[in-house]
């Protein structure tokens, strides 16, 4: 379901994939000093391709970039045009994934491999690929990772920093080697944080509960979409509060929410089966409404869509 598009944006130019290369001395390659976004575009019922919540992704990217002093990024409106132009250049006509990555390039001459941010130039690369859903809709099994989510005071999860994903990779690797599909990660306080590449929701007595932004998590855009849809469209009570390790074994339903994974029901946590009968009712309703919304079938939220054609 994934196929890279032929053209890539690299530092102000659109180049063929084979020519989109960076030097091995790139600082981000050595120290993880890059920030990125994962964005999806969906084909609507009328055949039009729309990028979902593009402004919100670019706003988060700008905040992540500010933290690592990644300078000279295009302004929001120009950035949007660059992405939409690239999709048109790639003749994108199916569901897509868009990956902008701002990274620390080269140190000023004479500094060598210094670990610092000031005096290191910034680059920007944007990859797009055709990509449909890649997670199963009938529920996945999640381990609870022994690896804890990086604390905010060490490397803020709120910023989407490339280096943070070594933490996610360790958790995912361990979960998959143990036969699970993904991992739920606890924070340093022992409460639920998020999964390796998505936020987590649980359902208890008909209420939706998700860890607060202070739980050392990424401020997920899908998380925000789900909170909005659950409250406004489904009339559900949504509570942002800490979820302890032990509480995970008494929830009625659980699902992951992220741009890439979309909405994925979790039917097993460690060796505890949540739903003997499969996917929970509320998870299924939210998943269905989310997939309608991203495809423009929920007229209240068409402001979230940026059409690729113009």
Distance between CA atoms of 268 and 246, rounded to whole angstroms?
14
220 binds ligand PMP (CB under 6 A): yes
Distance of closest approach, residue 37 Cβ to ligand PMP, in angstroms: 7
197 binds ligand PMP (CB under 6 A): yes
**Residue (219 or 247) nearer to ligand PMP, CB:** 219
Question: Which position among 102, 192, 221, 286 is part of the footprint of ligand PMP (CB under 6 A)?
Answer: 221
Instruction: Show the binding pattern over residues 145-174: x = contacts ligand PMP (CB under 6 A), - = does not.
Output: -----------------------x------
Q: Count Cβ atoms within 10 A of the Cβ of residue 172 and give its class: 0-12 exposed, 13-18 middle, 19 or more buried.
A: buried
Distance of closest approach, residue 99 Cβ to ligand PMP, in angstroms: 10
Asked whether 270 and 144 are in contact (CB, 8 A), the reply is: yes
**Residue (70 or 120) nearer to ligand PMP, CB:** 70
Distance of closest approach, residue 23 Cβ to ligand PMP, in angstroms: 27
Question: Which position among 199, 210, 267, 283 is part of the footprint of ligand PMP (CB under 6 A)?
Answer: 199
Q: Hey, which residues between 32 and 91 contact ligand PMP (CB under 6 A)?
A: 38
Distances (CA, A) of 244 to 60, 209, 223, 226: 28, 12, 19, 21
Picking from 165, 155, 151, the residue whose alpha carbon sits closest to that of residue 215 is 151
Across-strand partners of 9?
14, 126
∠ Cα 27 151 186 (to 5°): 120
258 binds ligand PMP (CB under 6 A): yes
Phi, psi of 50 (to 5 degrees): -125, 135
257-56-58-65 Cα dihedral, nearest 10 degrees:
-80
**Residue (122 or 198) nearer to ligand PMP, CB:** 198
262 binds ligand PMP (CB under 6 A): no
∠ Cα 254 256 261 (to 5°): 150
Distance of closest approach, residue 39 Cβ to ligand PMP, in angstroms: 8
96 binds ligand PMP (CB under 6 A): no
Distances (CA, A) of 206 to 75, 201, 239, 280: 42, 12, 11, 11
Distance of closest approach, residue 229 Cβ to ligand PMP, in angstroms: 13
Question: Which residues sit at the interface with ligand PMP, rule CB under 6 A?
Answer: 38, 168, 194, 197-199, 218, 220-223, 258-260
């Amino acid at each position: 379901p994934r196929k890279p598009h032929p053209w890539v944006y690299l530092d102000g130019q659109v180049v063929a994939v084979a020519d989109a290369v960076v030097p091995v001395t790139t600082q981000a390659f050595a120290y993880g000093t890059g920030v990125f976004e994962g964005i999806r575009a969906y084909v609507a019922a009328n055949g039009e391709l729309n990028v979902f919540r593009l402004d919100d992704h670019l706003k988060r990217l700008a905040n992540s970039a500010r933290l690592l002093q990644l300078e000279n990024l295009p302004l929001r409106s120009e950035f949007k045009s660059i992405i939409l132009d690239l999709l048109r250049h790639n003749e994108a006509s199916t569901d897509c994934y868009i990956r902008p990555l701002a990274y620390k390039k080269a140190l000023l001459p004479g500094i060598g491999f210094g670990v610092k941010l000031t005096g290191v130039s910034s680059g920007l690369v944007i990859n797009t690929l055709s990509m449909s859903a890649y997670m199963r809709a009938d529920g996945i099994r999640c381990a609870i990772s022994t690896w804890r989510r990086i604390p905010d005071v060490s490397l803020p999860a709120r910023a989407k920093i490339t280096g943070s994903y070594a933490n996610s990779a360790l958790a995912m690797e361990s979960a998959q080697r143990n036969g699970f599909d993904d991992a739920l990660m606890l924070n340093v306080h022992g409460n639920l944080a998020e999964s390796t590449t998505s936020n987590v929701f649980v359902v208890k007595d008909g209420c939706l509960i998700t860890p607060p932004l202070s739980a050392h998590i990424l401020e997920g855009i899908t998380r925000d979409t789900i909170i909005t849809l659950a409250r406004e469209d489904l009339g559900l009570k949504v509570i942002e509060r800490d979820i302890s390790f032990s509480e995970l074994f008494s929830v009625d339903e659980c699902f992951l929410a992220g741009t890439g994974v979309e909405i994925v029901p979790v039917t097993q946590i460690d060796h505890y089966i949540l739903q003997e009968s499969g996917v929970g009712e509320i998870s299924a309703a939210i998943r269905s409404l989310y997939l309608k919304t991203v495809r423009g079938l929920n007229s209240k939220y068409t402001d979230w869509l940026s059409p690729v054609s113009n």
